[in-house]
Amino acid sequence: MHTVVVGTSGVSAADVVAVARANARIELSEEAVAALASARAIVDALAAKPEPVYGVSTGFGALATRHISQELRAQLQRNIVRSHAAGMGPRVEREVVRALMFLRLKTVCSGRTGVRPEVAQTMADVLNAGITPVVHEYGSLGCSGDLAPLSHCALTLMGEGDAEGPDGVVAPAGELLAAHGIAPVELREKEGLALLNGTDGMLGMLVMALADLENLYKSADITAALSLEALLGTEKVLAPELHAIRPHPGQGASAANMLAVLKGSELTGHHQDDAPRVQDAYSVRCAPQVAGAGRDTMAHARLVAERELASAVDNPVVLPDGRVESNGNFHGAPVAYVLDFLAIAAADLGSIAERRTDRLLDKNRSHGLPPFLADDAGVDSGLMIAQYTQAALVSEMKRLAVPASADSIPSSAMQEDHVSMGWSAARKLRTAIDNLTRIVAVELYAATRGIELREGLTPGPASRAVIDAVRAAGVQGPGPDRFLAPDLAAADAFVRGGHLVTAVEPVTGPLA
């Protein structure tokens, strides 16, 4: 099993995906353990002084003015976890919770939080045991971090609340810890606060969204090329010299991907045949411009994610010179903005894909294809309602593109009077990505059928490889009407699993 070593300088996006989705094992570096011990010594020294220090010997948020006596501080740390574990609604996905915990561990190991080494080791032990705290959909405003979600994770470390075992069964957390030989932690000064105060949930979802979108943008370039082929479009608009004079990197990459898929096709460039036309429609001709803009948005989001992955987000923090200072680094605005931006780009990519599908099904615009790609139009409805389903998904994506980060709602008696709503932005982006996958799958289904209905014309080798692979995966080709949902589900699984890209790349070489 792959092992991720957590040090003091952050982790990579690949580390997050490995832990969240592939159950990679976690180890703490010697450097991290030493940094944890050093920072803890500073916190212990401050805790022994009579002067109040926020997060060490005071209450929290709007209650920060109260000085807490030493005999009540352990209770204070337990109480903040218990009271903040106030989430509601459906359970959050296992991979999101694992990413959330791992990223909090990443910050703890920076040596900026004042948490003891044994607490960090317990966090690693829980993840390595496959124990997943029950975290709920609602409870984070994305300021002071993802408070409720992180609190439910901290509750598991204390042996309280519910968690899911490696067998997928939910049980009391204390029982699961005992079954794996893990002792519950007894929190000391600052530790409860340090376990709750970060952008880890929204960041974890951003990292996984970028991994999913990388596959989807390549897949969308492929399906756009297939649709162009099925519509007898021209590949001349993809020429590198045309994209060089508008040098957006994503646009050039998408155009190059489409051109590689279309190489060797006999279906392109039939503009002066039986249905002459000067230009293809925007949804075909401008595919690289739209997908490319989304790719460039991803590049910006990836830069924000990399900076956040290298950050130590907590309040207060232990500085290298020994000071413990309050700050506002927990505010989720940088992450929230790019989560919303990605949802906008994804909605537009889904929208242009649906327009190409609709064009393939309309006999007045498909340049010779049968109505709705039906076998016997009138008796058969073909893919008419598959496009309805795709349109419904696009419509929802437009609603999901409304930015969460443009909203703020005051909390904590107006102490936390401006929040990021980054968790909400991340949650809706996950739904948008699910929808986009299905939208691309419907275009794939329609475009491959359209190509196969072009009798006497041979598609390019890459298109042929896609058709062979998708048919082998259980997605049927042209013919009389049948129960469509299983075909669409198989196409969805084909795209979601990255199989569309892997079908093409042995022919085209690696896509950008």
Which residue of the set 54, 138, 282, 337 is catalytic?
54
Q: Hey, which residues does 324 pair with through a beta bridge?
A: 318
| Crossing angle between the packed helical segments 117-128 and 94-108, to the nearest 10 degrees | 160
Q: Are 211 and 95 in contact (CB under 8 A)?
A: no
Q: Dihedral angle at the C-alpha atoms of 365, 367, 373, 377, nearest 10 degrees?
A: 80
Calpha distance 338→336 (Å, rounded): 6
Copy the structure tokens of residue 199.
């952008």
Q: Are 27 and 3 in contact (CB under 8 A)?
A: yes
Nearest CA to 140 among 192, 84, 193?
84
Q: Please say if 54 is a catalytic residue.
A: yes
Give whole-number Cα distances, 206 to 6, 121, 243, 301, in Å. 20, 25, 29, 8
Burial 369-400 (b: 16+ CB within 10 A, else e): bbbbbbeeeeebebbbebbebbbebbebbeeb
Token pair 């609603």: residue: 399
Amino acid at 357: T
DSSP conformation class of 1: -
Q: Hey, which residues does 58 pair with through a beta bridge?
A: 67
Calpha distance 100→331 (Å, rounded): 16
φ, ψ dihedrals at 171, nearest 5°? -150, 165
Nearest CA to 271 among 263, 262, 281, 261?
281
Copy the structure tokens of residue 100.
């959330």
Beta-carbon-side half-sphere exposure of residue 489 (alpha carbons within 13 Å): 4
Q: Are 487 and 475 in contact (CB under 8 A)?
A: yes
Length of the chain: 512
Nearest CA to 437 among 392, 512, 494?
494
The catalytic site residues sit at 54
